[in-house]
Structure 1
Amino acid sequence: MKRVITGVNDEGKSYVVSSEELEVELFIDVHNFTPDHVRSIIGDVEDGTTAEWLEPPAGGIKIMYIAHTPVSQMTGPPPDLPGLDEEGFHTTRTFDVDYVTHGELTMLLDTEKVVLRGGDVVIQQATRHAWRNESEEQAGLLAILHTPA
């Protein structure tokens, strides 16, 4: 299992803090976090720049499944949703756990992109990002978003 942790650098750009293959055994810790650390990261996000409709209320959790069609099979422009730019980049004031259920997805950040496959996990810490299915097969993403109280 690949685990990727994202963050925001000193220039305010999203980047990969770490990326590593975890040895999958019967039980492994995928990630531990402290709410105080996440609150400080979220506090740095500028007002009016987020996709607020994706964010659960303070102290809440939102669980979403997103089916990703290959880019080559998409027709028309991407949806026009508040907080998403024309390429689908967005930020939320949340701590996210994103799990690729199947297929292959590319996570785009300000400074780089990362290819993820079924079974990989991303820990997002209020980072600007977008998702692309650059393969020719369907892909799925289970996203768990948490807004600290």
Structure 2
Amino acid sequence: MQPKPFRRIVTGHDADGKAIIVSDAPPVRSQLIGGPGGPTFFEVWHTLETPAFIHSQPDDTDESGLVLPPPKNGTRIRVIEFPPEGEEIRKLTGADAAAKFKSMGDEKASTSAAGAPHPLMHRTQTVDYGIVLEGEITMILDKGETTIRPGDIVIQSGTNHAWANRSNDICRMAFVLIDGQFTNDTL
């Protein structure tokens, strides 16, 4: 069952400085990772810096493919649709997991290892806000896990984690990623 499409509404300013709608359409970039049974990433928007420059006519044409983390000193918002997890995911090797993260533009994020709680464990130097929009998903950490449902919000502070959809329906989540830097006490 496919979730309903969603719109990306981008605002800006006209030549007189008046607020306008620049675009109103589904996200222009999406990518299925790992073939059938893998998640679909919908790249919604990103900024290249913080504080973000506010242009009168914003555009997002500077990236052509999927990049897992936000730009250095920037942000990213994306929506991911996680299908129910099958055996093909649970049987991934460390090399398979690294290849999946490489296809997302960040092979170094993979922390897959023998004995890990999930083969798609990963970690990035980001603060991420994850919001479940539809369905449910299990967040797996090094020590523990929890099921997240519609309306629940996760704040991830550079933690090693994986996502497992153990339900029978697609889970749609929105993520806001903010570039970060580990301190000495988070290594």
Shorter-chain TM-score bucket reads 0.5 to 0.7
Pick from 55, 59, 64 the counterpart of residue 78 of structure 2: 64
Partner of 2:21: none
Q: State whether residues 125 and 180 of structure 2, in contact with CA within 8 Å, keep that contact through their aligned partners in structure 1.
A: no
**Counterpart mapping for 1:41-120 below 5 A:** 53-72=67-86, 77=92, 80=99, 81=101, 82=107, 83-84=109-110, 85=112, 87-120=119-152
Partner of 2:178: 146
Name the larger-Rg structure: 2
**Which amino acid in 1 is paired with 2:166?**
E
RMSD between superposed Cα atoms in Å = 2.3
**Which amino acid in 2 is paired with 1:68?**
F
**Which amino acid in 2 is paired with 1:115?**
T
- TM-score under structure 1 normalisation? 0.58
Gaps of 5+ in 1: 1-52
**Which amino acid in 2 is paired with 1:66?**
I
1:142 CA drift (Å)? 0.8
Partner of 1:121: 153
**Percent of aligned positions with the same letter in both sequences?**
32
- TM-score under structure 2 normalisation? 0.47
For 1:72 and 1:148, how far apart are their aligned partners in 2?
32
Gaps of 5+ in 2: 1-66, 102-106, 114-118, 182-187
**Which amino acid in 2 is paired with 1:136?**
N
Higher mean Cα deviation, 57-66 or 95-104? Answer: 57-66
**Which amino acid in 1 is paired with 2:73?**
G
